[in-house]
Amino acid sequence: MSLDRRLVTRTLGYVGGRQPGSLTDDCPGGPWLLLWTHDGKSGMTTTGAACRPGHIDLVVSGVTAVVLVGVVAISQMGGGFPPDPVPYLFAVGFGAVLMLRRRMPITVLTLSVLGTFAYYALDHPPIGVALPVFAALYSTAEAGLTRWAVGAGVVVLVASLYFRLREALPSPGYVLGTDTMSNAALVAAAVALGYGSRARAVRAAREREIAELTAAQHEREVELRIRREREDLSRELHDTLGHDLSVIALHAGVGAEAVGRDDETVATAIERIRQQSTRSLQELRRLVRILRSDPTRHEVRVLSSRSDLDSLVTRIEEAAIRVRSDVTLSPGSVPVAVDAAAFRIVQEALTNVLRHAEASTVRVRAARNGDVLRVVVEDDGRGVSGAGSTGFGLSGMTDRVRLLGGTVQTASGPGGGFTVEAVIPAEPRS
Domains annotated on the chain, with CATH? 55-219 (no CATH), 228-425 (3.30.565.10)
The listed range with the strongest mean pLDDT (96-100, 119-123, 278-282, 401-405) is 96-100
In three-state secondary structure terms, 160 is helix
pLDDT at residue 47 above 50? Answer: no
Q: What pLDDT was estimated at residue 376? A: 93
pLDDT at residue 280 above 80? Answer: no
Q: What is the mean pLDDT of the chain?
A: 76
Q: What pLDDT was estimated at residue 293? A: 59
Q: What pLDDT was estimated at residue 357? A: 67
95 near 62, Cβ under 8 Å? yes
Cα–Cα dist 71/69, whole Å:
5
CA angle 57, 63, 65 (to 5 degrees): 100
Cα–Cα dist 348/277, whole Å:
18
pLDDT at residue 173 above 90? Answer: no
> 72-96: per-residue pLDDT in tens?
888 888 777 888 889 899 999 999 9
Backbone angles phi, psi at 367, to 5 degrees: -160, 150
Element (H, E) at 361: strand 361-369
pLDDT at residue 40 above 70? Answer: no
How far does CA 270 lie from the centroid of its chain? 56
Cα–Cα dist 318/269, whole Å:
9
Kindly report the pTM of this predicted structure: 0.46
pLDDT at residue 262 above 90? Answer: no
In three-state secondary structure terms, 8 is helix
Residues 6+ apart with CB under 8 A from 120: 126, 129, 163
Backbone angles phi, psi at 410, to 5 degrees: -125, 150
Residues 6+ apart with CB under 8 A from 135: 60, 64, 98, 101, 112, 190
144 burial level (CB within 10 Å; 0-12, 13-18, 19+): buried
| pLDDT average, residue stretch 218-243 | 73
Q: At 162, is the pLDDT very low, low, confident or very high (cuts 50, 70, 90)? A: confident
| pLDDT average, residue stretch 389-417 | 77
Secondary-structure percent of the chain, ordered helix, strand, coil, rounded to 5: 65, 10, 25
Q: What pLDDT was estimated at residue 393? A: 63
Q: What pLDDT was estimated at residue 29? A: 41
pLDDT at residue 286 above 80? Answer: no
Give the orientation angle of helix 105-121 with respect to helix 146-167, to 10 degrees: 10
